[in-house]
Structure 1
Amino acid sequence: MTTRFISSAAIAACVLIPSLGALVLTVGTAAPAQAQAPAQATAIPRMTDGKPDFSGIYTPPSTVNATGPRGNLIFNADKMAPVKPGAESLLYRPRTGDARLDEPRAMCLPSGFPSGMLYILPIQIVQNTKYIVITPELQRYSRIIPLDGRPHRDGLEPSYYGDSVGKWDGDTLVVDTVNFKPWILDDYHYTDRTKSRWHSDALHTIEHLTLKGDKLLYKVTIDDPKIFERPFSQDFELTSRPDWDSIGLLEYACEAGNRCPGGNCRANEGQ
């Protein structure tokens, strides 16, 4: 497993920059405390068109109001919608002993979405006025998302990451994704070693991305009418790391087929 080593330089001094607005006082008169301008929220970076600029590297997401730290994130069962009668077999699949199904990443297969966004490695976002590109360090599968509000494309083959289109709702980026192939929903199989959680080909996701200080607020809504009675949402937070910009994402390499013939791994062959 790749280990990231980061060293941060200590800040030797703080420089306070006064406001551009000058405060004019009459000689011998003190300014009342209540007359001072209130502190303003930190301005978010913006593109030339005035839209928020998400460009940068972000640490792995954490759950909002989490009860404790964990590695790979999963959806909170308490916030998931009820499962439709008879759909349990679509959501929960027993572990088979075949790593291609039980843990596709071990065989260099894509994590898919939304699982890939909830992994323990950072992501990088690159943006211009026409597109936003989200690249996890894991596997380096980039999502290239148009920002002009265009409709979904017709006639595409279903894919691990689906077909995504974006539009703006004020300062929030809304990403709509459809056309998935059935795949792993999250990393539940690390919590319950007997089974994994999947989504169907009817999955429809809506993501909301909002900048707030050094946080990227990330809300994802899962709508899978073949499995769940109704859509459900969960909120996550990612933290901006401008000090990682000079390093960038680390190279990710994966070798398939050199071990575990047929996906049947023995204990000493796991990678």
Structure 2
Amino acid sequence: MLAAPLTSAQEGCPADPARFHPCALARAAVFEPPRTSDGRTDLSGFWRGPGAATESIEAHPKTEDDNGGPSLVIDPPDGRIPYQPWAAAQRDENKARYVDPNVPCFPSGVPRSLYTPTTIQILQAPRYVIVLFERAHTYWIIPTDAGPHVGQEVGLWQGDFRGRWEGRTLVADVTSLNGRPWFDQAGNFYSERAHIVMRFTPIDPDTIHVAATIEDPAVYTRPWTMAFPLRRNKERNLELFEEACHEGERNTEPLFGLGYRIYPGVSGLR
């Protein structure tokens, strides 16, 4: 899939995540964001993430099919996901044998929904932050005063969200994932045991710094973090349109005829 390449914002932090991350942290420390009526940081509006990252969240070259782009991974510093040996081999097998779960119109999951090459909308209400996605017409509802998670025995495409405010930053804690989405088209994955914590911090009027830390002892050797910007979409009269993509649509049938299969998640591989 060709997606809009990463670009730098005028007079803002660079788009390359390795350079964006430290720049964004410095800017966030001095930026005073707008506030909602209840005094919380106002994140509302239309936004776009780095769409080329849906090709791969690790560094990848420009090809006939891909725009190419830098790694979103800022920890470890080498920009590589710290897979266990079996999981690194599984990632390669995923790309060779299974269709990207986005292709048959399954939800993009966490945090990939933020960097698919479409517009997202953030809405806020007292005790809730809602994120609407144009891709696959999905959404996240993040309660900011809820109790404990529902429990790991429940497996959800988008996971179970619990939010909290840490100063200017919205922290979204996600568990109860079903392990079936990928991070990207390259087959990078997590299991049902994944615990993902995302932090949303505005650094200027038109940029949100997003940092997502992923912990999954079944797949990785240690926790790791990706970071990227959400840039405000300033198109006039903007609205989200429902994507004509739904589970069971028939455009994927040629891929299955070539032998590709639906990815069942880690537990389904055993």
Q: Could you state the TM-score of these two structures normalised by the residue count of structure 1?
A: 0.69
Question: Structure 1 residues 88 and 243, CA, compared in 2 at 3 Å: closer, same or farther?
Answer: closer
Give the unaligned 5+ runs of structure 2.
5-29, 54-58, 259-270
> Which residue of the partner structure matches residue 247 of structure 1?
238
- Once residues 84 and 68 of structure 1 are traced to their aligned partners in structure 2, the CA distance between those partners, rounded to angstroms, is 24
Give, in angstroms, the shift of residue 93 of structure 1.
2.9
SS for the counterpart of 1:87 is helix
* Counterpart check, 1:134 vs 2:146: no
Question: Structure 1 residues 187 and 154, CA, compared in 2 at 3 Å: closer, same or farther?
Answer: closer
> Which residue of the partner structure matches residue 51 of structure 1?
40
Say if 1:93 and 1:197, in contact at 8 Å, map to a contact too. Answer: no
Say if 1:146 and 1:165, in contact at 8 Å, map to a contact too. Answer: yes
Question: Structure 1 residues 86 and 241, CA, compared in 2 at 3 Å: closer, same or farther?
Answer: closer
Give, in angstroms, the shift of residue 68 of structure 1.
9.1
CA offset digits 1:72-118 (Å, max 9, x no partner): 98644833453224333454434455xxx412222222222222222
- Once residues 44 and 179 of structure 1 are traced to their aligned partners in structure 2, the CA distance between those partners, rounded to angstroms, is 32
* Counterpart check, 1:88 vs 2:88: yes
Say if 1:137 and 1:249, in contact at 8 Å, map to a contact too. Answer: yes
**Mapping for residues 178-217 of structure 1, pairs under 5 Å:** 178-189=175-186, 196-213=187-204, 214-217=206-209
Say if 2:45 and 2:121, in contact at 8 Å, map to a contact too. Answer: yes
Aligned CA RMSD, in angstroms, stands at 3.3
* Counterpart check, 1:160 vs 2:151: no
> Which residue of the partner structure matches residue 224 of structure 2?
232
- Once residues 228 and 254 of structure 1 are traced to their aligned partners in structure 2, the CA distance between those partners, rounded to angstroms, is 32
CA offset digits 1:235-256 (Å, max 9, x no partner): 1011123444x22112311153
Give, in angstroms, the shift of residue 154 of structure 1.
3.5
Say if 2:108 and 2:182, in contact at 8 Å, map to a contact too. Answer: no
Equivalent residue letter for 1:104: P
> Percent identity, aligned pairs only?
27
Say if 2:152 and 2:176, in contact at 8 Å, map to a contact too. Answer: no
Bigger Cα Rg: 1
- Once residues 87 and 96 of structure 2 are traced to their aligned partners in structure 1, the CA distance between those partners, rounded to angstroms, is 19
Equivalent residue letter for 1:228: Y
- Once residues 112 and 160 of structure 1 are traced to their aligned partners in structure 2, the CA distance between those partners, rounded to angstroms, is 6
Give, in angstroms, the shift of residue 156 of structure 1.
6.0
- Once residues 147 and 230 of structure 1 are traced to their aligned partners in structure 2, the CA distance between those partners, rounded to angstroms, is 28
The correspondence for 2:210, drawn from 214, 218, 238, is 218
Give the unaligned 5+ runs of structure 1.
5-40, 190-195, 267-271
- Once residues 61 and 233 of structure 2 are traced to their aligned partners in structure 1, the CA distance between those partners, rounded to angstroms, is 22
Question: Structure 1 residues 204 and 147, CA, compared in 2 at 3 Å: closer, same or farther?
Answer: same
Say if 1:206 and 1:221, in contact at 8 Å, map to a contact too. Answer: yes
Equivalent residue letter for 1:49: D
Say if 2:119 and 2:233, in contact at 8 Å, map to a contact too. Answer: no
**Mapping for residues 66-105 of structure 1, pairs under 5 Å:** 70=67, 75-76=72-73, 78-95=78-95, 101-105=98-102
CA offset digits 1:171-222 (Å, max 9, x no partner): 1011100011122332142xxxxxx222111111000101121101111111
> Which residue of the partner structure matches residue 11 of structure 2?
none
- Once residues 71 and 58 of structure 1 are traced to their aligned partners in structure 2, the CA distance between those partners, rounded to angstroms, is 21
Equivalent residue letter for 2:83: V
SS for the counterpart of 2:242 is coil
Aligned residues: 218
